[in-house]
Amino acid sequence: MEPQTLIDYTRSLDCIHCGLCLRTCPTYQLTGAEPSSPRGRIHLMRAVAEGDIEADAAFREEMDFCLLCRHCESVCPSGVEFGALMEHTRAGLAPQTAIGRLARKLGFKLLESRTQLRLVAAALRLLQVTRLARLIAPLLGERGSALTKLPAVGPSSERRPLPEESPAEGAEPVALLEGCVMPELLGEVNRATLRVLNDAGHSVSVPSSQPTCCGSLQAHNGELERARALAKETIAAFEESDGVPIVTNSAGCGSHMKEYPNLFAEEPEWRERAERFSARVRDLSEVLSPRERSSASSAAVQEPITYDDPCHLCHGQGVREEPRALLDATGLERVELSESESCCGSAGIYSALRPKDAERILEGKLEALRSSGARTLVTANPGCQLQWQAGIQEHGMEVEVLHLAELLDRAQPDVS
């Protein structure tokens, strides 16, 4: 590919090389290396575009090493759209390694088919129940560790899809994005989401025509064509419920769907439909309003609790206060987690593709969790939830990981 089209050159010029992003970058924190920082990566991108260097293996490695957490965007005074820059570059790069290519192809195909996801979930459950997973994992090498780190897959009753319509009264109706891995691995989170929305008076519709995946993982990993196709399907599915908010309990999906219009620079008609769609997208925490919740029923939650900001909620969507306000209204004691806005290492499929790096990044977060003294960790994104659960289990810590929806579900609204 020509260097000029490989790099979004115009966007790369937004960087003024001040370096204020350095300290926020998880990979710079690990290495102290300029090429593993946002500023350094942009510098290399610009060098490729200007013909000073080739997009060689070292270049691809630095691009792949990035978690796309977008923490740098939150501190960039110059307004560099780093996420978009990186997605553009990745789209142009051939995947780094054969195994990465395979993982992507297989992984993405899987994510796009509900039938296949169900089959895999069922197979995984079988492996887990029979403890075969532990035997097979070592045979798969470094990436096999992902197999043992996945949470226990529930019985099929927990994995059934949400009903298409769940009526309630008192608040505006909403449409819900079901998500790809959510129903299979974290079905209870989806059900908790449905209950807290219903409890708050929102009728919830779950359009059956929504594709299995919103396309965010494809976009982050350079599969922009597939991402566009999935975005179109998603947009069309939710046009039936025009006007009502589209709610997601996954920060990664929310952030991506709020930016759908960026995918359609060259398709004005779709761009317009994407803009209408994106204006309706809300994170769960943006539609619920803080309500007093009974402390009696909150006995099901170990205190103190703490909240870890998912990158694609705080950096991607600028949502920081809403989840905290909802948590504080429960009356549960909450402590702040230091560096709560730094990435946990999950980063979509990153933790599966680069398990060692993901683990190193999580180590700092686990240390922060330890010193916070929290007994319950709350997050608002499925990837983060899985990553935290795996790390906490591995380190033998006694901290429960809950999705915001699960916590709110346990601390029922005070009806008195």
Partner 1 sequence: MDSGFLRALEQVVGPEGLTTDSTRRRAYECDGLALVRRVPDLVLAPLDTSQARECMRLLREEGLAVIPRGAGTGLAGGATPHEGGVVFKTSRMRRVLEVSERDRFARVEAGVVNVDLTSACSHHGLRYAPDPSSQQACTIGGNVANNSGGPHCFRYGATTRSILGLTVITAEGEVMELGGPEPDPEGLDLVGCFVGCEGMLGVATEVTCRLIPAPETTETLLALFPSLDGACEAVTELIAENLEPSAIEILDRLTIEAVEASVLAAGYPDEADAVLLIDIDGLAEEVRATAQDVGEIARAHGAFEIRTATDAKERARLWAGRKGAFGAMGRIAPDLYVADVVVPRTKLKEVVLATTEICQARGLKLSNVFHAGDGNLHPNISYDRRDEVEVARVLEAGTEIMKACVAVGGSLSGEHGIGLEKRDEMHRVFSEADLDAMLRVRAAWDPDERMNPGKAIPVRGCMEIKTKPLPVPSGGSS
Residues that bind partner 1 (CB under 8 A): 13-23, 31-35, 40, 43-44, 47, 50, 52-54, 56, 58-59, 62, 73-80
Please give the distance of CA 135 from its chain centroid, rounded to a whole number. 29
Say if residue 393 is exposed, middle or buried (CB neighbours under 10 Å; 0-12, 13-18, 19+): middle
Nearer to partner 1, 78 or 209 (CB): 78
How many whole angstroms separate alpha carbon 321 and alpha carbon 337? 14
Nearer to partner 1, 54 or 333 (CB): 54
Cβ at position 1, least distance to partner 1 in Å: 17
Which residues are bridge partners to 400 per DSSP? 376
Cβ at position 57, least distance to partner 1 in Å: 8
Cβ at position 342, least distance to partner 1 in Å: 13
Nearer to partner 1, 18 or 299 (CB): 18
Cβ at position 55, least distance to partner 1 in Å: 9
Cβ at position 253, least distance to partner 1 in Å: 23
Count the Cβ atoms, other than its own, within 10 Å of residue 291.
16
b/e sequence 92-117, b meaning 16+ C-beta within 10 Å? beebbeeebeebbeebbebbbebeeb
Nearer to partner 1, 19 or 154 (CB): 19
Cβ at position 218, least distance to partner 1 in Å: 27
How many whole angstroms separate alpha carbon 321 and alpha carbon 32? 31
The answer to whether 73 touches 82, Cβ cutoff 8 Å, is yes
How many whole angstroms separate alpha carbon 185 and alpha carbon 351? 16
Task: Please give the sequence-ordered ranges of beta strands (E in DSSP) within 76-179, or none if there are none.
Answer: 165-166, 174-176
Nearer to partner 1, 62 or 406 (CB): 62
Instruction: Count Cα atoms within 13 angstroms, Cβ side, for 358.
Output: 27
Nearer to partner 1, 58 or 136 (CB): 58
